[in-house]
Structure 1
Amino acid sequence: MQSRPPFLDSLSPHHGKVLTNLIDSNTREKLAKKLSAMPGGDTWYADIYSKAIYGPMLYRDNAFDITNIIAKVLPEYQILADLYLEKAASDQGFPFHTDFDSIGFMERPEEMLTVWIPLVPVNTEGSGQLSVVMAEGAVRLSLIREAHQLHSLLRVVDSSIPAHAPFELSWEEQRYLESSKFTPSLDAGDALLFCNAFFHKSEPVVSQTRSVYILRLVPKDAKFNRARLLALRKLGQNLEVVNALLSKHFPDALSGAATDPTASGD
């Protein structure tokens, strides 16, 4: 396994860590059965996922005990949302990206933690593994991309903010990310922990359907940004999570009594 550089401990301490057998076979089978029976949502991911379900909220269902499972291994975090993604065989994977576009409501997006749990083995080339990048240069590059995305997100609620050229990776940067990536081999029920604000990619799927249950976690003392939440709400991103956070931290934003869209909350 690629060693984690020490600088990550203070920035995103769990990025690139693997937890073995996080979810046992019984729970995994129940999850798979429940998720496979749920209808996929309308999503722009339709061209790369045969099924994408945003916010099934199965972690709230006591039958799966997900909340207690996470509390035992990551007690300082709370679950904010879940997600199910299913890729069909012959999928070519998805290139390096960050997920700030849909989870940009954090004051510090690098504090968000994804728990990526394959429900089938992803332990060989062609099985749809996930790759993450931990090299310091790549992490700095992802934080630059985050700043660009934040600028674009704020323009959604404040058109007076001037536009700028979009962030695009150069061929040399793409090659650097590819050479720096860490691609763990995971059995069904294992988990890869990673930060959505850092570059990651999905590898090709050759001969099986790859199904993954994903949890989004935040520190229990996480702070959220009112303007970004309002922008994501306007874009229709993660509405159940966004509306819940607005209701808890910025209730005036939902009542129409909002005054300062740039204020932050705890």
Structure 2
Amino acid sequence: MTTSRPEFLQGISPHHGEVVRNVLNREIRQKLAAKLDAMPSSETWYADIYAKAIYGPMVFRDQDLGIADTIKQLLPEYRILADLYLEKTPGDDGFPFHTDFDSIGFMERPEEMLTVWIPLTPVNEVGSGQLSIVMEEGAVRLSLIREANQLHSLLRVVDPTVPEHPPFQMTRQEHEYMERTKFTPSLDAGDALLFCNAFFHKSEGVAQGKRAAYIMRLVPKNAKFNRMRLLGLKKLGQNLAVVNELLEQYYPDALEP
């Protein structure tokens, strides 16, 4: 399954909706799966959504796997910032349309973050746990409104004098619009779907078997990070390994002695 990308996306998120085949070969997938299987699930509320969820295993730094080199060749203008592993089992109904900046909104331009979503099991038919994204301009503009709402709430964690704003809510018509216009590619194990975290996406249900996916968050090499949002995420305890590294690198004065 292929789809054409709207021109307006070039200026917002140039890789959103791209499918790249055979990014991780079978040997690397087997080594990666063995390493991830041996790791415990993360102790966060996100883990309750999945059969297994590991946030920040940082296995892309393992030179034996060569993942960082693979991404460097594929997307030379980006660097890997974080990774995660998500596992679903039969009976999972999927996760509704959402954006991801509740826990990773630390960039000045978070819509520049790029996800590389790699299934370690085939997701090529209904019931296999496919990932759907939306590329229609109306939905993208709506998602940027949601992003602003999420980041506003994050600032309030650090500075309660920031006025409160009503939570973002989607209408039934907006949900129906996204269901009607979503792109759901068929991927083999090791293929990659590239998409922007700021735009609406959802996981589809799993009817049988296990759906396992290894996911990387990439940022442009010249990305700038927001001090106040980093402190907000630190206070919330979200992505602490990455947040603390970024604070130490860019805002060392913000770390507690």
Structure-2 separation of matches of 1:255 and 1:162: 27
Q: Count residues in correspondence.
A: 256
Could you list the per-position Cα deviations for residues 93-147 of structure 1 after superposition, in whole angstroms to 9, with x for gaps in the alignment?
A: 0000000101100101110000000001000000000000000010000000011
Match of residue 85 from structure 1:
86
Matches of 2:97 and 2:5, distance apart in 1: 19
Give the counterpart letter for 1:232 in structure 2.
L
SS at match of 2:7: coil
Q: Deviations over 1:39-77 (max 9, x none)?
A: 111221333201000111101111100010000010000
Distance 1:222 1:46 in 2: 29
Letter in 2 for 1:94: F
Q: In structure 1, how many angstroms separate the alpha carbons of the residues matched to 2:82 and 2:47? A: 20
Equivalent residue for 1:107?
A: 108
> Which residue number corresponds to residue 37 of structure 2?
36
Tell me the residue number matched to 2:238.
237
> CA–CA distance in 2 between the matches of 1:48 and 1:221?
33
Structure 1 equivalent of residue 119 of structure 2:
118
1:210 equivalenced with 2:217 (yes/no): no
- TM-score if structure 1 supplies the norm length? 0.95
Aligned partners of 1:9, 1:25: CA distance in 2, in Å?
32
Q: Which moved more, 1:195-204 or 1:37-46?
A: 37-46
> Which blocks of at least 5 consecutive residues in structure 2 are unaligned?
none
Aligned-pair RMSD on alpha carbons? 0.8
Task: Name 1:260's counterpart in structure 2.
Answer: none
Distance in 2 separating the partners of 1:34 and 1:230:
31
Paired residues of 2:93 and 2:204 also in contact (CA < 8 A): yes
Alignment of 1:240-255 (within 5 A): 240-255=241-256
Deviation of 1:164 after TM superposition, in Å, equals 1.5
Q: Distance in 2 between the 1:211 and 1:4 partners? A: 27
In structure 1, stretches of 5+ residues that fail to align are 257-266
Q: Which residue of 2 aligns with 1:55?
A: 56
User: Normalising to structure 2: TM-score of the pair?
Assistant: 0.98
Alpha-carbon distance in structure 2 between the residues aligned to 1:92 and 1:208: 13
Identity %: 69
The AA in structure 2 aligned to 1:44 is W
Could you tell me which residue of structure 2 aligns to residue 159 of structure 1? Answer: 160
Structure 1 counterpart of 2:231, which letter?
L
Give the SS at the match of 1:45.
helix
